[in-house]
Amino acid sequence: MVLALLLAACTPEGGPSTAVNAARVEQLFDDALEPPTVGVTLGSYETRDDETFLERARLSEAIFRSQVTAILPMASGGWLVELTTRDVLQGGSLAPKTLEVEAPAGSRTANLVGNFRPNFERANLLVFGRRYARENQRSQWHVHTVADTAEARELVARSAP
């Protein structure tokens, strides 16, 4: 029963007719801002994993170009990054106009924002978004960002059904 609820939570409204693996969805839409998104190359992020990129594109409810419009420190020590949608590539009216991404203290994203905050300010991002609920929470948008490049936009266009 719990598994059925988790799988149902990962199926978007009006989205795919079959549920997807909840753990995989949470892994793909992990609220991460990748270092190359803002011109920083670190270790495993130096090469893009096209298979994961395409899977993320297929499972996204919306893919949109966004700009960082605010970076606010959280009382818990993390960061709240506000994104404003500039252009929707997939998902039409589903894409949020603004979105807040929480980077909890100690997470890779929080460390990245803390160390490279000037790189993030006003950065342009390509955002893969999907709504799902974590345990005991309401459904909300979760995202993963990549650098907003012509190459990435072309790969998104090729992945469209």
135 vs 82, more confident = 82
Q: For residue range 28-84, list pLDDT tens digits in order.
A: 998 888 777 777 766 555 456 788 889 999 999 999 999 999 999 999 999 999 999
Q: For residue range 86-116, list pLDDT tens digits in order.
A: 999 999 888 999 999 999 999 988 998 999 8
- Tokens for 11, please give them: 């199926």
Provide the pLDDT for residue 39: 74
Query: Can you give the residue ranges of every domain in the chain?
Result: 2-159
**Looking at domain 2-159, which CATH architecture does it have?**
Beta Barrel (2.40)
Query: What's the pTM?
Result: 0.80
The beta strands (E) that lie in the chain are given as 32-33, 62-73, 79-90, 98-103, 124-132, 140-147
- 97: alpha, beta or left, given left = phi > 0 and alpha = psi -120 to 50? alpha
Which H or E run contains 114?
Answer: helix 108-120
